[in-house]
């Protein structure tokens, strides 16, 4: 069993920046950030799969160019740097991990992940 703990959420003004951190109790091959706004389905934001060149990443179209996912395999941590946030980024953000080498769309699909954190709230104000 892998334990995931998120931190770094909070309130931020539109156009600002925030960095989320997820600490895992063990190494996993694929990790990702998902978010869920009230009344909406959980959606994949960004994912990263371990690789020889620092990892392979995937992003939802809505965050491309604004968010950056990164991981530190020695520390078992996952980060999400969020820049240029807007009101649509307001949601509960969840860290997810799986021992398998996920790829492409499946890496941004919630049902593919076995391990989940409790979530950290991000609220963007105008």
> HEC states along 27-87?
CCCEEEEEEECCCCCCEEEEEEECCCCCCEEEECCCCCCCEEEEEECCCCEEEEEECCCCH
Name the phi and psi angles at 108, rounded to 5: -110, 20
**pLDDT range class, residue 52, cuts 50, 70, 90:** low
Q: How far apart are CA 25 and CA 66, in angstroms?
A: 28
What average pLDDT score do residues 113-117 get?
A: 98
What average pLDDT score do residues 94-111 get?
A: 96
What average pLDDT score do residues 8-27 get?
A: 97
**pLDDT range class, residue 50, cuts 50, 70, 90:** confident
Helix, coil or strand: residue 91: strand
């Amino acid at each position: 069993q892998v334990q995931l703990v998120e931190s770094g959420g909070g309130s931020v003004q539109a156009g600002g920046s925030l960095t989320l951190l997820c600490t895992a109790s063990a190494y996993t091959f694929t990790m990702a950030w998902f978010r869920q706004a009230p009344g909406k389905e959980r959606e994949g934001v960004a994912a990263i799969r371990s690789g020889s060149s620092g990892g392979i990443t995937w992003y939802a179209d809505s965050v491309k160019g604004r968010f950056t996912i990164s991981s530190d395999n020695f520390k078992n941590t996952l980060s999400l740097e969020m820049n240029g946030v807007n009101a649509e980024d307001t949601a509960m953000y969840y860290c997810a991990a799986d021992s398998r080498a996920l790829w492409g769309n499946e890496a941004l699909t919630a049902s593919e992940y076995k391990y989940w954190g409790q979530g950290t709230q991000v609220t963007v104000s105008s």
